[in-house]
Amino acid sequence: MMLMIEKKPVQAAIKRGADVVLSALALILLSPVMLIAALGILICDPGPVIYKAKRMGKDLKAVTMYKFRTMKVGSDKQGAITGVNDSRVFAWGELLRKTKIDELPQLINILKGEMSIVGPRPEDIDIVNEYYTEKEKLTLKVLPGLACPGSIFNYTHGDRYLFGDDAQSAYTDKFLHIKLALDLYYLKHWSLIYDLSIMIRTAKAIVLTMKGNEYIDFPMEYKKIREMRRWRKNH
């Protein structure tokens, strides 16, 4: 199956050019924010500032994804998925997660050509190998991204799924396939305008969350998928 991005090589080239320019500018402009984030980590929980996570990249090739460390040293050995009120996350790390500042080091991944600003979020390698269906592996035909419909849904509604003592099981059983369905919808309808809308929607979700909004509406893709499923059920 050929994805929409593969059918639009000129737009795909523009997308890559925009990734390079925007990530380089963001690294320069946000460098003070990143410095404060790093200092806060060293003060709150001394240890490595950057967490290097092995993730599945484009064409099933592993990549090392960079993040600001938000959990106590060694916490990753207890599972790749972080649940609601996870005790492994220290206070400064929780703030970095809520504001998405912890993801800023991935701008380096984007510059290196390992990621894109918009694209399906890079997933843990073991989760891909064990839980992805063949159809869901289509999300691995493109560069993983910093933002996508699945990540917006995770940010605004993930807490409804990722609670309890076993966050990883909750993630793989209840949440993973919904998130991937949203990203498959994105890939089917991809365009540069769509990418821009996702960047704007991601920023809006962060602002609303920081303002204390208790309810943020479901992403457009979630509603579309539900409508399609209801139509198929009735026809």
So what's the pLDDT on residue 159? 81
Contact present, 119 and 145 (Cβ < 8 Å): yes
Contact present, 122 and 55 (Cβ < 8 Å): yes
Supply angle C-alpha 63, 64, 70, rounded to 5: 140
pLDDT digit string, tens, across residues 148-196: 999 999 999 888 877 766 888 889 998 999 999 999 999 999 999 999 9
Contact present, 132 and 160 (Cβ < 8 Å): no
So what's the pLDDT on residue 232? 59
What is the spatial distance between Cα 202 and Cα 199, in angstroms, rounded to a whole number? 5
So what's the pLDDT on residue 230? 67
What is the spatial distance between Cα 199 and Cα 201, in angstroms, rounded to a whole number? 6
Residues in the chain with pLDDT values less than 70: 164-165, 230-235
Helix (H, G, I), strand (E, B) or coil at 233: helix
